[in-house]
Amino acid sequence: MTDPFRHRRVLIEADGGSRGNPGPAAYGAVLKDADTGAVIAEDGTTIGVATNNVAEYAGLIGGLQMADMLAPHAEIEVRMDSKLVVEQMAGRWKIKHPSMVPLAQEANRLAPFGTTYTWVPREKNKHADRLANEALDGVRNGVTVLGEPAEESQGSVPGDEQPESLVEELQEPDQAPQSIQAHIRGWSPGSDVRTTVILVRHGVTDHTTEKRFSGGMASANPGLSDEGRAQARATGEWLAPLSDRVDVLVTSPVRRTRETAEILAELLGQQVQVEPGFAEMEFGTWDGLTFAEVAETRQDELDGWLGSVDVAPGGGESFREVEKRVLDALRRLLDERAGQTIVVVSHVTPIKTLVAHAVQAPLESVYRMELTPASVTVITFFGGGPDPERPMASLRLYNAQAPGATTFGGPPVW
């Protein structure tokens, strides 16, 4: 089996229909590598008697299931010609019909954070439409794994060369041979445990706008400004459609993160839990000073701090010390909340430290990252990796800004 990290970005094309509305129904779904255009897998499956809308949602779910099995670490874009499904899944239209609610919930459960939805005209969705019609015509029923480039007119139809057991193996991974389990789950049995951490930086304070060093609990600890509260609310409203998938909201104990977390908690329907390990770096005697003021009075200290992650500001913490504290907090979180989706409200240094850890970059890479106030960064950690101290991880989103949020220092960052 090929490397599960082979596909960095995938496209799902999905459709569904019924002959009678309601009537005999089926869906079609295609999973493609977004960079090469290779067809990874196809699914054309009947679902009994249903409406067009139910069949379309079934196609979306079928495509997301294939992505979950065959490209578990990839970014996903979904393309459909159903305006209803695209707008509802993007959160722009409300779901009014009761029969659609559980389907949308299942699709949301399967879709990784950051999944995007694009409407396309019917003529650009012919591949998925053909699969649905082939299923209704009795030509196919189930998943075909291809994994190689294929022309749209050469869609594979299950036959003697495609044993029925493969479909069963993909649908029931616990019963699959070990080689297929390893491909589906990543690297070893048990790595299907996915813990998604949604990292939110706090909104701006007066220190942020004045570009002053602002540390953790030992600092002056300013609260959010009016702009910072507006940023936090915009971010919370952006995350609100995912509220049913969020299991816990954790915050650093610092005032500006707690105030941000309280706004998010109201919008996500969560209680706030405090984790001291996610507090900001302590800047010691630099706290409250601007960069220029530190350079003017403590140039030697500043040069040492910028030159080594092991050097601390006077009376403060080094990046290395912060790394140990933050990774200890991460381990506690992954142990206690394995398999859950966690929102963590934190600061620049801890978030950049977690990103460096996730992508296995040296700690020095924190010098080369920029992180916007009230931005969202998403990392999924996978259990069962070869090193329990360094779980395998996938960076799903970095420094994303909620639409409509004011952004300190420039326009919204994506």
Q: Which residues are catalytic?
A: 202, 280
Distance CA 282, CA 312 (A): 9
Question: In this structure, are residues 371 and 187 in contact, taking their beta carbons and an 8 Å threshold?
Answer: no
Burial class from Cβ neighbours inside 10 Å (0-12, 13-18, 19+) for residue 175 reads exposed
Cβ contact 57:85 at 8 Å: yes
Measured torsion, CA atoms of residues 270, 271, 275, 280, in degrees rounded to the nearest 10: 70
In one letter, which amino acid is 43?
D
407 within 8 A of 413, measured Cβ to Cβ? yes
3-state helix, strand, coil split of the chain in percent (to 5) is 40, 20, 35
Q: Quick one: tokens of 215?
A: 């540390």
Selection from 150, 1, 157 nearest residue 70 by Cα: 1
CB 155 within 8 A of CB 131: yes
What residues contact 387, with CB distance under 8 A and at least 6 apart? none
What is the Cα gyration radius of the chain? 24
Cα separation values, 193 from 19, 145, 286, 354, Å: 39, 23, 42, 19
